[in-house]
Amino acid sequence: MRMFKIVTQLMAALMVLMVSAANASEEKTMAQDFTLKSLSGENLRLQEMRGDVILVNFWATWCGPCRKEMPYLDELHQEFADLGFSVLGVNVEQDSNLATDFINELEVSFPVLFDNKQQVSELYKVDAMPMTVMIDRNGYQRVLHRGYVDGDEEIYRKIIKELIRE
């Protein structure tokens, strides 16, 4: 258990350094804009959220790590919402009813969007589940994280704090 904690702390430090290095770099990648229908029935456009730090999480109900990660993402959303941070959950399944049932059961507070035709998933080259993209206040993609293991939420927390401070 101690070794796991050390590895998690090292990974977190490395991710924060990567964010800092990306900030110092002249060449940044602008996050691809998209509009998707949300669970509430409204369309949500990423570009309209510029000015906030955004964590976009691509997920599916059949993905065990996605299901495990979801409550942690909701905690992060609630913890940092007042500081200009949001989580967007992008479900990639063709049948959004499965996702709707799952989200209603969990009662997450962040917007859940439906990418039924996988257009946004293709735009972001989603090749793993879950896949998390962090976008800074200026709309630049700063972090790309594939998969989920216990402790990743602490890595996210440190990166979120760093991006909020910028």
Domains of the chain and CATH, by start: 27-148 (3.40.30.10)
pTM: 0.84
Residue 66 is among the residues annotated as catalytic for this protein? yes
Torsion of CA 57, 60, 66, 67, to 10 degrees: 130
- 24: its two tokens: 């110092």
Average pLDDT over residues 38-44: 94
- What percent of the chain has a predicted confidence (pLDDT) above 90? 80
User: Which entry of 53, 63, 135, 155 is annotated as an active-site residue?
Assistant: 63
- The catalytic residue among 49, 66, 76, 134 is 66
The answer to whether residue 63 is catalytic is yes
In whole numbers, what is the pLDDT of the chain averaged over residues? 87
pLDDT band at 86 (very low <50, low <70, confident <90, very high): very high
CA–CA distance, 146 with 23 (Å, rounded to integer) = 21
Question: Distances from the Cα of 30 to the Cαs of 40, 42, 54, 88, in angstroms?
Answer: 27, 24, 13, 17
Task: Kindly indicate the confidence band of residue 26, based on its pLDDT and cuts at 50, 70 and 90.
Answer: very low
57-67: burial string, b at 16+ Cβ within 10 Å, e else: bbbbbebebbb
Tokens 């927390």 appear where? 157
DSSP 62-131: T-HHHHHHHHHHHHHHHHHGGGTEEEEEEE--S-HHHHHHHHHHHT--S-EEE-TT-HHHHHTT--SSSE
